[in-house]
Amino acid sequence: AESSDRIPKWLLPVVRENLAAGRPVDLSAAIVASWARYAEGTDEQGGPITVVDRMADRLMASASHNHEDALAFLRDREVFGDLVDSPDFTAAYTRTLASLHTDGAEATLDMLLEG
What's the confidence (pLDDT) of residue 1? Answer: 86
pTM of the model: 0.96
Q: What pLDDT band is residue 34 in, cutting at 50, 70 and 90?
A: very high
CB 93 within 8 A of CB 29: yes
Helices (H), 26-86: 26-38, 56-63, 77-80
For residue 44, pLDDT beyond 90: yes
Query: Which of 18, 21, 57, 23 is CA-nearest to residue 41?
Result: 57
Contact in structure between 53 and 2 (CB atoms under 8 Å):
yes
pLDDT digits (tens, 9 = 90+) for 74-112: 999 999 999 999 999 999 999 999 999 999 999 999 999
DSSP string, 88-106: HHHHHHHHHHHHHHHT-HH
CATH architecture under which domain 3-104 falls: Orthogonal Bundle (1.10)
**What is the model's pLDDT at position 55?**
97
Rg (CA), the chain: 13
Averaged pLDDT score across all residues of the chain: 97
